[in-house]
Amino acid sequence: MNSKMSRSPHRVFVYGTLKRGQRNFHYLQDAEFVGQFSTESIYSMFVFEDYPAVCVDGQHAIHGEIYHVNDAQFRLLDELEWYPDFYQRIEILTHHGEAWMYIVKAQLCEGKQQIDGIWP
């Protein structure tokens, strides 16, 4: 395979069960780790059973990790995140360039426990 085909065309920001040491990290174990990142303080993070979800419209920074993923890995992430039926994707600006971040609509967060933007 030539180097162009093996390049990872998508940058994603993950903040929950996809981070290193979390139960869904195996989806990213072959992805290229880019670095740590914290967003602007404009989001809210909520607990959905045993995973987090983020809504736009809040006062917390979200802390996570950035990865380069290929098309196949990106499709798997979309399936895991029930995109577009549950999670939506937005592009955020990071110090590593633009990255995709999965968020949910604010009405889905109603009645959920809010946490400070750091998933265990």
Catalytic residue among 32, 40, 81, 110: 81
The residue behind tokens 């940058």 is 11
Question: What CA–CA distance (Å, rounded) separates 49 from 54?
Answer: 14
Helix (H, G, I), strand (E, B) or coil at 85: coil
- Catalytic-residue membership of 110: no
* DSSP three-state, residue 73: helix
Q: Which sequence positions are flagged as catalytic?
A: 81
